[in-house]
Amino acid sequence: MNGIPMPGDRTSNPAPRRRELSLDEYAAGVQAGDVGVLARAVTLIESSLPRHQRMAEQLLTRLLPASGNAIRVGVTGAPGSGKSTFIEALGLHLVGLGRRVAVLAVDPTSGVTGGSILGDKTRMTQLAAEPSVYIRPSPAAGTPGGVALKTRESMILCEASGYDVVLVETVGVGQSETMVADMTDCCLALLLPGAGDELQGIKRGLLERVDVVVVNKADGATQSAAQLAARQYAGALATLSGRDEQDAPVVLTCSALRRIGIDTVWQAIARRHERLQQSCDLERRRQRQNLHWLWSVVQARLANTLDTHAGVTAVRDEIERQVSDGTLPVEAAARKILEALGIRDEWNG
């Protein structure tokens, strides 16, 4: 029928499946800077298949000594603040300085369909065309803190592949995004002209963690408003952050669209990174981040075990019914679930 293969037509030629790479091929390809292998390695670590997870652990163990040499920058900010435009402008500036840049962009996941647009490459067309740039969008998939579940692991792969600046773009959901500060050397908050409500949004949680505040859209009709907002942010941060003068957040303005002030922003990031290196605070910061990462993974695996454990599954419906009916206290219900998991609550005897 017009040459169109029909279902069940033995003459149709489905695309052949790609050959799976060995651990040696993954490690060699990533360290050689092969973008195709790097992309497949990130897909491997994001996979939920047990055999992929085992290989991912082996790959990360092998590549860990080759990582850690990049400047890690988290970029957060409310939706509409221009994060993608800013990252493209900053990335192109870094390319001009001879840097190799990896962008790990996290897209929001629909609570209804579970899908993500993953459109960062379409929003950063110029940056995506640069051979020294790797852009990887990943779905948030319900992970709290504005990052994806495997952002840290992806960072290790990118560093082992020779990228010396890693930019982590968060989803952009507000002050819960402090998690990005637990995996980067410098946390940058991109804000819009007009203080007040936006300052209220950052002064708890993110305020204590942000290192550079950049007021975007400092051009044209909004230039004066951006400069005024920057002064207001600087005054508020000096009062509320509780950090010493040397470690106080830097407040700057820029126009990501017109690429004005991007060089000044990068200089502030680079100076902070250099100061952390010289004082050995960078090593201590990353050690703390690794420990935080450890316990985050433990908690995530415990949560997954709760969802899949046969003993818990066997009692879940009845316990939930009793709690819903008000015939079983929540504390007692929790103890029963832990006992089904094989954990005895010593506090309750």
Under a CB-based contact definition with an 8 Å cutoff, are residues 204 and 244 in contact? no
In angstroms, rounded to a whole number, what is the distance separating the alpha carbons of residues 116 and 140?
8
Model pLDDT for residues 155-193, shown as the tens digit of each residue: 999 999 999 999 999 876 454 456 788 899 999 999 888
Give domain status of residue 16, yes or no. no
Length, in residues, of the chain: 349
In angstroms, rounded to a whole number, what is the distance separating the alpha carbons of residues 325 and 274?
59
175-189, 291-305, 322-336 — which one is most confidently predicted on average?
Answer: 322-336
State the Rg of the chain over Cα.
23
- On whether both 330 and 225 belong to a single domain, the answer is no
The answer for residues whose C-beta is within 8 angstroms of residue 89's C-beta and 6 or more apart is 254, 256, 257, 259, 262
Give domain status of residue 145, yes or no. yes
Give domain status of residue 58, yes or no. yes
Give domain status of residue 97, yes or no. yes
CATH number for the domain harbouring residue 107 = 3.40.50.300
pLDDT at 290 exceeding the cut of 50: yes
How far is CA 297 from each of CA 61, 109, 150, 243, 301, rounded to the nearest angstrom?
15, 20, 10, 30, 6
- On whether both 160 and 26 belong to a single domain, the answer is no
Give domain status of residue 189, yes or no. yes
Task: State which of 32, 66, 100 marks the end of a domain.
Answer: 66
Give domain status of residue 294, yes or no. no
- On whether both 60 and 79 belong to a single domain, the answer is no
What would the two tokens of residue 293 be? 């990462």
- On whether both 85 and 55 belong to a single domain, the answer is no
Give domain status of residue 10, yes or no. no
Tell me, what's the pLDDT at 348?
A: 52
Tell me, what's the pLDDT at 213?
A: 92
- On whether both 127 and 148 belong to a single domain, the answer is yes
103-107, 155-159, 204-208 — which one is most confidently predicted on average?
Answer: 155-159
- On whether both 75 and 35 belong to a single domain, the answer is no
User: Which element (helix H / strand E) includes 168?
Assistant: strand 165-169
Model pLDDT for residues 71-91, shown as the tens digit of each residue: 999 998 877 889 999 999 999
- On whether both 86 and 130 belong to a single domain, the answer is yes
Under a CB-based contact definition with an 8 Å cutoff, are residues 129 and 192 in contact? no
Angle at 335 between CA 334 and CA 338, to 5 degrees: 90
Which has more pLDDT, 342 or 89? 89
Tell me, what's the pLDDT at 334?
A: 94
- On whether both 198 and 325 belong to a single domain, the answer is no
Q: Could you tell me the residue range of the domain that residue 80 belongs to?
A: 67-279
Task: State which of 40, 66, 92 marks the end of a domain.
Answer: 66
207 — pLDDT class (breaks 50, 70, 90):
low
- On whether both 88 and 51 belong to a single domain, the answer is no
Model pLDDT for residues 114-162, shown as the tens digit of each residue: 433 444 566 799 999 999 999 998 765 444 443 457 899 999 999 999 9
Tell me, what's the pLDDT at 249?
A: 87
345 — pLDDT class (breaks 50, 70, 90):
low
Instruction: Please report where in the chains the tokens 């949004």 appear, as a residue.
Output: 201
Give domain status of residue 53, yes or no. yes
- On whether both 102 and 62 belong to a single domain, the answer is no
Model pLDDT for residues 246-282, shown as the tens digit of each residue: 778 899 999 999 999 999 999 999 999 999 999 999 9
CATH number for the domain harbouring residue 50 = 1.20.5.170
Q: What is the DSSP letter of 165?
A: E
- On whether both 142 and 86 belong to a single domain, the answer is yes
Burial class (CB in 10 A: 0-12, 13-18, 19+), 245: exposed
pLDDT at 211 exceeding the cut of 60: yes
Number of separate domains in the chain: 3
Nearest to 321 by CA among 335, 333, 309: 333
Under a CB-based contact definition with an 8 Å cutoff, are residues 103 and 79 in contact? no
**Mean pLDDT estimate for the chain:** 84
In angstroms, rounded to a whole number, what is the distance separating the alpha carbons of residues 184 and 23?
27
Pairing of strands 165-169, 71-76: parallel
Under a CB-based contact definition with an 8 Å cutoff, are residues 127 and 103 in contact? yes
113 — pLDDT class (breaks 50, 70, 90):
very low
Q: What is the pTM of this model?
A: 0.84
Tell me, what's the pLDDT at 87?
A: 96
pLDDT at 43 exceeding the cut of 50: yes
- On whether both 28 and 103 belong to a single domain, the answer is no
Tell me, what's the pLDDT at 116?
A: 38
Task: State which of 33, 66, 99 marks the end of a domain.
Answer: 66
46-50, 201-205, 261-265 — which one is most confidently predicted on average?
Answer: 261-265
Burial class (CB in 10 A: 0-12, 13-18, 19+), 217: buried
pLDDT at 236 exceeding the cut of 90: no
At 137 the three-state DSSP class reads strand
In angstroms, rounded to a whole number, what is the distance separating the alpha carbons of residues 168 and 146?
10
